[in-house]
Amino acid sequence: MTKKELGKNIKKAREEKGITQEELAEKVGAHVSYISRIERGIANPAHDLLESIGKILKMKPSDLLSL
């Protein structure tokens, strides 16, 4: 899976849950610009951040890889 695909999956899941980038960033302890770069496929999240994002979105990290 590419960074772009992962970013699209995270964005899709986040939007389906009705969570803003700002809310997600605050809940996982990241800067909103970093969440934006992840969703655009520019940055690749570390495994622990991916786990945190998954918890907030009520998904396993592996689910985010296969949406």
Q: CATH code at 46? A: 1.10.260.40
Work out the number of other CB atoms within 10 angstroms of the CB of residue 4: 12
Looking at the domain assignment, is residue 15 inside a domain? yes
Give dist(CA 48, CA 40) in Å, integer: 19
Looking at the domain assignment, is residue 41 inside a domain? yes
Confidence band for 50, pLDDT divided at 50, 70 and 90 = very high
Q: How many helices (H) and strands (E) would you count in the chain?
A: 5, 0
Token pair of 32 as six digits: 């909103």
Number of domains in the chain: 1
pTM higher than 0.75 for the full model? Answer: yes
Contact partners, residue 2, CB within 8 Å, separation at least 6: 41
Looking at the domain assignment, is residue 30 inside a domain? yes
Which structural domain, as residue segments, surrounds residue 9?
Answer: 3-62
Confidence band for 1, pLDDT divided at 50, 70 and 90 = confident
Average pLDDT over residues 33-59: 95
Average pLDDT over residues 39-44: 96
Looking at the domain assignment, is residue 67 inside a domain? no
- pLDDT at position 63 is 85
- pLDDT at position 67 is 64
Average pLDDT over residues 12-37: 97
